[in-house]
A and B are shown apart, each in its own frame.
Chain A
Amino acid sequence: GAGVSQSPSNKVTEKGKDVELRCDPISGHTALYWYRQSLGQGLEFLIYFQGNSAPDKSGLPSDRFSAERTGGSVSTLTIQRTQQEDSAVYLCASSRDHGSDAQYFGPGTRLLVL
């Protein structure tokens, strides 16, 4: 079956521009997660959705970061006024339900801010 998909796979942008990253979870998965990973580092939790609600936004690094999920499916992570330190791989994962189920990751979006 289809796994988690993310687009674009790579994004190069200039400092100060806004970017939108998209995640399509596995069909039927109610929980969706966004993480950020810098080269050689661990996963940094950003936000998770249960359905269309985001009970935990504690990981968003600043108010330049926002995310939404519509129809209990696709999610978009938006970074406004990008900075060079935003450069990283942004990973999306989904699970059947939140809390105790395994997460399945998409291939990530590699973001480079020049």
Chain B
Amino acid sequence: RKEVEQDPGPFNVPEGATVAFNCTYSNSASQSFFWYRQDCRKEPKLLMSVYSSGNEDGRFTAQLNRASQYISLLIRDSKLSDSATYLCAVCEGKSTFGDGTTLTVKP
């Protein structure tokens, strides 16, 4: 079993839809959590950190569930420009990245 697992998708949604991704992790001692966005043939870019109490940045909401050992990313009112691969990262001593979930937002 991988340390960090994500549903690879692809998720194909229409513009304006709400979409959510989960990322499960196996190390209960994990301390820090992040979501990254990676566009095709580009490097991953930090999207947002994930805080214990949950946090929001515009249309994006990140949540942490320590009991069930997963983090989630919710995107509201999807835009065409949200099409990308979303990677989660879980840190405990070192960062472990999921393989990513691919999102395609269609007109």
Is there a chain B Cβ closer than 8 Å to A107's Cβ? yes
Q: Is the CB of B45 within 8 A of A105?
A: yes
User: How far apart sit A106 and B92, CA to CA, in the bound complex (Å)?
Assistant: 22
- B27 smallest CB distance to A (angstroms): 13
Closest to A58 in B: B94
Q: Which residues of A contact B96 (CB under 8 A)?
A: 45
Q: Is the CB of A42 within 8 A of B91?
A: no
Stretch at the interface among B58-66, B74-82, B97-105: B97-105
Q: Is the CB of A108 within 8 A of B94?
A: no
Select one of B46, B94, B99 contacting A98, CB under 8 A: B94
Q: Is the CB of B100 within 8 A of A104?
A: no
Asked whether A103 and B89 contact (CB < 8 A) given A43-B97, A98-B94, the answer is yes
Count of inter-chain pairs, beta carbons less than 8 A: 47
User: How far apart sit A45 and B100, CA to CA, in the bound complex (Å)?
Assistant: 15
The binding surface of chain A is classed by DSSP as: loop
Q: Which residues of B contact A104 (CB under 8 A)?
A: 46
Select one of B31, B43, B93, B97 contacting A108, CB under 8 A: B43
Q: Is the CB of B44 within 8 A of A99?
A: no
The binding surface of chain B is classed by DSSP as: strand
Q: Which residues of A contact B99 (CB under 8 A)?
A: 41-43
User: How far apart sit A102 and B31, CA to CA, in the bound complex (Å)?
Assistant: 12
What 1/0 flags go to B7-41 for Cβ under 8 Å of A?
00000000000000000000000011010000000
Is there a chain B Cβ closer than 8 Å to A34's Cβ? no
Q: Is the CB of B44 within 8 A of A43?
A: yes
Is there a chain A Cβ closer than 8 Å to B42's Cβ? yes
Interface positions, chain A 44-89, Cβ under 8 Å from B, are 45, 48, 56
Interface residues of B (CB under 8 A from A): 31-32, 34, 42-46, 49, 87, 89, 91-100
Q: Can you give 17 contacting A-B residue pairs, CB < 8 Å?
A: A41-B99, A42-B98, A42-B100, A43-B97, A91-B43, A98-B93, A99-B32, A99-B94, A100-B91, A102-B49, A102-B89, A103-B89, A103-B95, A105-B43, A105-B44, A107-B43, A108-B43
